[in-house]
Amino acid sequence: MSDRIRTRFAPSPTGSMHVGNAHTALFNWLYARKYGGDVVLRIEDTDELRSTREALDVIYGGLSWLGIDWDEGPDRGGPYGPYVQSERLDIYQKHVDELLAAGKAYRCYCTPDEVEQRREIMRARGLPPRYDGKCESLTEHQCEQMVTEGRTPCIRLRMKRTGNTVIHDRIQGEVVYGNDLCGDPVIMKVSGFPTYHFAVVVDDAEMGITDVIRGDGHLPNTQIHLQLQEALGLPHPRYAHLPMILGEDRTKLSKRHGAVSIMEYQELGYLPEAMVNILALLGWSPGDEREVLSREEILEAFSLEGCSKAASVFDIKKAEWLNGEYMKQLAPEDLARRVHPRLVEAGLMEAEPTPERWEWLAGVVDLMKERAKLLSTYVQWAAYFFTDEYDYEDRAREKWLSKEETPATLEALADAFEALGAWDAVSIEGTVRELAETLGVGAGKVIHPCRAAVTGTTVGPSLFHLLELIPREDVVARLRRTAELSRAGQLAPRDAE
Ligand code: GLU
């Protein structure tokens, strides 16, 4: 095995990239990049007859979004290609022929139904339902007879029957599997396609992979992989099986827990750098208290020794918090650039803002960033910056907009704003406080109805700074419109209607 570290990410093109796949990809990438090695992207499509272009694009898209790059792969080529398993059938065939010639594999003519029936019987007798070895010692003559019966064989590996297979896993420690429990696995199907076990072992060796880092769902498969390597006279790569990712109820992360495909997180409004941080902290810790870590800090602190064997829980609240922390750290111009496409899509903003509008948008997102946890928050919570057509929430109606004195307060405020020379937070605040004094009420009695009228809600960032970002004539028009609706009794809480 070469000294240079070579890892691989080997997804099956299923048409979506699960959080678990992204997690595995990231850990392979971190490990290779940390130690100056290579990342190979290999497409494992032996279950499908062909991998579709769309399924590949999903994989490329997910990895690119996360900023995970690779050195060799179907799109970039490399010295060990092709990197799509369905294009490597002759390579697998060559190795199968070797095993058959050496008697380390054999032809099996049992149909899947026959195998299953016999398994049923074994289960009923309380025996491990492994392949019972019916075809393991067929003679040439018997094989020919099977063919005359119209049967086409698959190929099975002759596994050891006694002793143990010991896996020295860099995360899970020493894992021991008894050889008496494992039947002879199929390594090549009737169709001439290799099975996952065979293709993975051949390719890891052919591609010079030094380190196999993957989910611990594959740990039991490693028993077969180690024995296949021995049968083929191939080196064992180092293994590291990452702990399983669970939902908050501690069952395997699945659709029931919410978003499971990595691109759903993009849609929900996560930043890719936050997602990398969130994924990195699943089953790994930097060894200190830090939780918000940049990609560079993660790389710096990363090691397989820092990975835990215990399953990790995907905590969505913590994920949102982390994303919010990342949004706070971004420069307002950068944050504006990231929020903008969502605003365009929601019809709240023009596709090509002028420099002044970009600057304005930077002000808006900056003002909101203490409260926003996701990029989508801006569309959901801050529509009033972009349109006059916002909803008056029930709480705003109940607490302020249905109160008898509110229309007069709003109108008085509209008059005062119109008379104001400047339009900035300081002058706005001065006007509001002055009006409160004139009316003989506390400032809150003007501030809250004003917020309810201009934004339709009772919560939000500093009112004076918020108003500054909305053109004065719009603010005045909103105050007058709301006063009118309120006076006409149209802003009663809807619950009460
Ligand atoms: N293609 C396998 C999967 O998607 C990965 C195999 C491996 O890492 O050994 O689960």
Backbone angles phi, psi at 186, to 5 degrees: -70, 130
Indicate if the pLDDT at residue 105 is higher than 80.
yes
How many Å apart are CA 352 and CA 349, to the nearest integer?
9
Average pLDDT over residues 456-475: 96
Atom number, ligand 1, closest to the C-alpha of residue 24: 8
Indicate whether residue 10 lines ligand 1 (CB < 6 A).
yes
Q: Which domains occur in the chain, in start order?
A: 89-242 (3.40.50.620), 394-496 (1.10.10.350)
Residue pLDDT, tens place only, 385-438:
999 999 999 999 999 999 999 999 999 999 999 999 899 999 999 999 999 999
Indicate whether residue 214 lines ligand 1 (CB < 6 A).
yes
Mutate to test the pocket of ligand 1, among 196, 224, 228 (most ligand atoms within 8 A of CB): 196
- The residue whose C-alpha atom lies closest to atom 6 belonging to ligand 1 is 10
Mutate to test the pocket of ligand 1, among 17, 39, 40, 44 (most ligand atoms within 8 A of CB): 44
How many Å apart are CA 424 and CA 347, to the nearest integer?
27
Within a 10 A sphere around the Cβ of 287, how many other Cβ atoms? 10
> Which of 401, 398, 419, 421 is closest to 410 using CA atoms?
401
Residue pLDDT, tens place only, 360-373:
999 999 999 988 99
pLDDT at position 381, please? 87
* Percent of the chain residues topping a pLDDT of 90: 90
pLDDT at position 495, please? 67
Indicate if the pLDDT at residue 154 is higher than 70.
yes
Question: DSSP state, 166?
Answer: E
How many Å apart are CA 200 and CA 21, to the nearest integer?
16
How many Å apart are CA 415 and CA 377, to the nearest integer?
33
Mutate to test the pocket of ligand 1, among 47, 200, 245 (most ligand atoms within 8 A of CB): 200
* pTM across the whole model: 0.92
Question: DSSP state, 312?
Answer: E
pLDDT band per the 50, 70, 90 thresholds, residue 252: confident
441, 450 contact by CB (below 8 A):
no
Query: In terms of residues, how long is the chain?
Result: 497
Least confident of 13-22, 26-35, 99-108, 478-487: 13-22
Indicate if the pLDDT at residue 497 is higher than 60.
no
Dmax over Cα atoms in the chain, in whole Å?
Answer: 109
Indicate if the pLDDT at residue 496 is higher than 60.
no
CA–centroid distance, 10 to ligand 1, in Å, is 5
- Judged by phi (left if over 0) then psi (alpha if -120 to 50, else beta), residue 401 lies in alpha
CA–centroid distance, 302 to ligand 1, in Å, is 22
How many Å apart are CA 456 and CA 256, to the nearest integer?
34
Average pLDDT over residues 145-156: 96
Indicate whether residue 44 lines ligand 1 (CB < 6 A).
yes
Indicate whether residue 224 lines ligand 1 (CB < 6 A).
no
> Which of 178, 174, 175 is closest to 162 using CA atoms?
178
Average pLDDT over residues 68-73: 98
Quick one: how many helices (H) and strands (E) in the chain?
20, 11
CA–centroid distance, 269 to ligand 1, in Å, is 28
CA–centroid distance, 7 to ligand 1, in Å, is 13
Indicate whether residue 20 lines ligand 1 (CB < 6 A).
no
Residue pLDDT, tens place only, 311-338:
999 999 999 999 999 999 999 999 999 9
Atom number, ligand 1, closest to the C-alpha of residue 204: 9
Least confident of 246-250, 276-280, 387-391, 459-463: 246-250
Indicate whether residue 200 lines ligand 1 (CB < 6 A).
yes
Residue pLDDT, tens place only, 9-23:
999 998 889 999 999
Looking at residue 162, its amino acid is T
Indicate whether residue 11 lines ligand 1 (CB < 6 A).
yes
Residue pLDDT, tens place only, 185-229:
999 999 999 999 999 999 999 999 999 999 999 999 999 999 999
- The residue whose C-alpha atom lies closest to atom 4 belonging to ligand 1 is 11
Residues 6+ apart with CB under 8 A from 278: 270, 318, 319, 322, 323
Looking at the annotation, which residues are catalytic?
255
Indicate if the pLDDT at residue 254 is higher than 90.
no
pLDDT at position 313, please? 94
Atom number, ligand 1, closest to the C-alpha of residue 11: 4
How many Cα atoms sit within 13 Å of 349 on the Cβ side? 24
Mutate to test the pocket of ligand 1, among 21, 58, 218, 225 (most ligand atoms within 8 A of CB): 218
Mean pLDDT of the chain: 95
pLDDT at position 51, please? 67
In what side-by-side order are the strands of the sheet with 154-157? 105-108, 154-157, 186-188
Indicate whether residue 221 lines ligand 1 (CB < 6 A).
no
How many Cα atoms sit within 13 Å of 318 on the Cβ side? 13
CA–centroid distance, 8 to ligand 1, in Å, is 10
Indicate if the pLDDT at residue 259 is higher than 90.
no
Gyration radius from the chain CA atoms: 32
Decide the pairing of beta strands 154-157 and 105-108. Answer: antiparallel
Q: Which helix (H) or strand (E) holds 213?
A: strand 211-215
DSSP one-letter string for 265-311: HHHHT--HHHHHHHHHTSSB--SSS-----HHHHHHH--GGGB-SS-
Residues 6+ apart with CB under 8 A from 469: 360, 363, 364, 367, 385
How many Å apart are CA 67 and CA 26, to the nearest integer?
9
CA–centroid distance, 402 to ligand 1, in Å, is 61
Indicate if the pLDDT at residue 50 is higher than 70.
no
206, 81 contact by CB (below 8 A):
no
pLDDT band per the 50, 70, 90 thresholds, residue 48: low
CA–centroid distance, 12 to ligand 1, in Å, is 7
Residues 6+ apart with CB under 8 A from 265: 19, 259, 275
CA–centroid distance, 209 to ligand 1, in Å, is 14
- The residue whose C-alpha atom lies closest to atom 3 belonging to ligand 1 is 11
Which SS3 state, helix, strand or coil, does residue 199 take?
A: helix
Atom number, ligand 1, closest to the C-alpha of residue 225: 9
Within a 10 A sphere around the Cβ of 3, how many other Cβ atoms? 6
| CB burial of residue 291 (10 Å; 0-12, 13-18, 19+) | middle
Indicate if the pLDDT at residue 494 is higher than 90.
no
Indicate whether residue 218 lines ligand 1 (CB < 6 A).
yes
Average pLDDT over residues 83-96: 96
Decide the pairing of beta strands 38-41 and 6-9. Answer: parallel
How many Å apart are CA 365 and CA 352, to the nearest integer?
17
Which SS3 state, helix, strand or coil, does residue 386 take?
A: coil
Q: Which helix (H) or strand (E) holds 379?
A: helix 377-381
Tokens (6 digits) for 255: 């659709």
How many Å apart are CA 331 and CA 132, to the nearest integer?
65
Helix 272-280 to helix 316-329 angle, to the nearest 10 degrees? 130
Average pLDDT over residues 112-120: 94
Indicate whether residue 13 lines ligand 1 (CB < 6 A).
no
- The residue whose C-alpha atom lies closest to atom 9 belonging to ligand 1 is 200
User: Which residue reads 């799509």 in tokens?
Assistant: 84
> Which of 316, 286, 384 is closest to 19 using CA atoms?
316
- The residue whose C-alpha atom lies closest to atom 5 belonging to ligand 1 is 10
Indicate if the pLDDT at residue 297 is higher than 60.
yes
70, 40 contact by CB (below 8 A):
yes
Indicate whether residue 204 lines ligand 1 (CB < 6 A).
no
pLDDT band per the 50, 70, 90 thresholds, residue 284: very high
CA–centroid distance, 11 to ligand 1, in Å, is 6
pLDDT at position 1, please? 61
How many Å apart are CA 100 and CA 110, to the nearest integer?
17
User: Which residue reads 């903008």 in tokens?
Assistant: 340
> Which of 330, 407, 396, 338 is closest to 369 using CA atoms?
330
pLDDT band per the 50, 70, 90 thresholds, residue 452: very high
